[in-house]
Amino acid sequence: MKLKLIYLGKIKELTTVSSEHLEFEEGISVQELIDQLTVSYPHLAFESFQISVNRNLVEFSYILTEDADVALLPPFAGG
C-alpha cells in the first residue's frame, strides 16, 4: 500500500526531507511503520514524536490504510 509520510520540526531535520511517498505491506500498524522507518533513519529510534493520520492524532497501535497521509510530529509545547 502507498502512504504519504510528512516530517515536521526535528523529525524533518533527521530525515533531511519534508515528505516522501513509500510502499508498505497492507494493514501495518503505526508502530510497524515506525520500526521500518528506523531502518532508513536510525536516529528516529531516539526521538519522541506523535503520529497524525489524515490530520487526526492516533495511537501507535492504529492500523494504516491505503493512501493515508501520515505525519510525524515533534512534541508540542503548551502554554
Domain 2-73 has CATH 3.40.50.150: no
E runs forming strands in 1-79: 2-7, 19-23, 50-53, 56-58, 69-73
Cα–Cα separations (whole angstroms), residue 37 to 58, 65, 77, 79: 17, 17, 25, 32
pLDDT at 78 over 90: no
Domain segments of the chain as ranges: 2-73
- Tens digits of residue pLDDT in 29-73: 999 999 999 999 999 999 999 999 999 999 999 999 999 999 999
Cα–Cα separations (whole angstroms), residue 18 to 5, 61, 76, 79: 8, 24, 18, 27
Select from 46, 43, 52 the least CA-distant residue to 73: 52
Please give the model's pTM, rounded to 2 decimal places.
0.89
The cell for 71 is 505525519
